[in-house]
A and B are shown apart, each in its own frame.
Chain A
Amino acid sequence: GAGVSQSPRYKVAKRGQDVALRCDPISGHVSLFWYQQALGQGPEFLTYFQNEAQLDKSGLPSDRFFAERPEGSVSTLKIQRTQQEDSAVYLCASSLPTSGRGDTQYFGPGTRLTVL
């Protein structure tokens, strides 16, 4: 079956522009996560959805970042008025989840955002 897909794979934006990044999770996966990965760092949590409900947005760095998953499948991460410090790879991951102790999250290829 298909894995997690993300589009676009690369995005160049001028400072101040708005961008929208799309994630298609694995079919049937209830949980969806967004992470931000800066150069030379590990991925850092941004936000989490269970179906259409955004249960945790504690990692969003500012109110310029907004995520949605209106029908519980595809998700969009929107960044308004982009700044140079927003330049990073944005990773989407999905998981079933199983009940109990932990889930394996499956990642998409990421969108590399460069803000000039």
Chain B
Amino acid sequence: DQQVKQNSPSLSVQEGRISILNCDYTNSMFDYFLWYKKYPAEGPTFLISISSIKDKNEDGRFTVFLNKSAKHLSLHIVPSQPGDSAVYFCAASDSGGSNYKLTFGKGTLLTVNP
């Protein structure tokens, strides 16, 4: 049973436009959410996070939105750049479980075309 789902395996966007990556979760105990970016042959790189007490967090071109009632979060990248092309993973943790382990989705491959 997948607790974190990224239903779009891939997304293609034109340079300069907005990229929107989506993530759904099923475990209502999750209270901290992160997005990681991964290039081939490298480990995941932390991008941005959001706590369940917020509904939006912004960092430069990256904004994460959290809709707790829908158990849905999204990552917006504006404007998209070719260097953003990578696999993006959504991850969640239950801090009440006191070990902070992350549960990941399967990832979405973003391609930004020049």
User: B-contacting residues of A (Cβ < 8 Å)?
Assistant: 4, 6, 31, 33, 35, 40-45, 48, 55-56, 59, 91, 93, 95, 97, 100-110
A101 touches B43 (CB 8 A): no
User: A-contacting residues of B (Cβ < 8 Å)?
Assistant: 4, 31-32, 34, 36, 41-46, 49, 51-53, 89, 91, 93, 95, 99-107
A107 touches B31 (CB 8 A): no
A41 touches B103 (CB 8 A): no
Among candidates A55, A100, A107, A109, residue contacting B99 with C-beta atoms closer than 8 Å: A55
Chain B residues lying within 8 Å of A103, measured Cβ to Cβ, are 32, 93, 100
A100 touches B95 (CB 8 A): yes
A39 to chain B, nearest CB (A): 11
A56 to chain B, nearest CB (A): 5
The residue of chain B having its C-beta at the shortest distance from the C-beta of A110 within the complex is: B43
Can you list 18 A-B contacts (CB < 8 A)? A35-B104, A40-B106, A42-B91, A42-B105, A43-B44, A45-B102, A45-B103, A56-B101, A91-B43, A93-B43, A101-B51, A102-B51, A102-B93, A104-B46, A105-B46, A106-B46, A107-B43, A109-B43
B100 touches A95 (CB 8 A): yes
In the bound assembly, the distance between CA atoms of A93 and B34 in angstroms comes to 14
A109 touches B42 (CB 8 A): yes
B49 touches A102 (CB 8 A): yes
- What 13 new A-B contacts, CB under 8 Å, besides A48-B101, A103-B32, A105-B34? A33-B102, A35-B104, A42-B106, A56-B101, A95-B100, A101-B32, A101-B51, A104-B49, A105-B46, A105-B102, A107-B36, A107-B43, A107-B44
The residue of chain A having its C-beta at the shortest distance from the C-beta of B101 within the complex is: A45
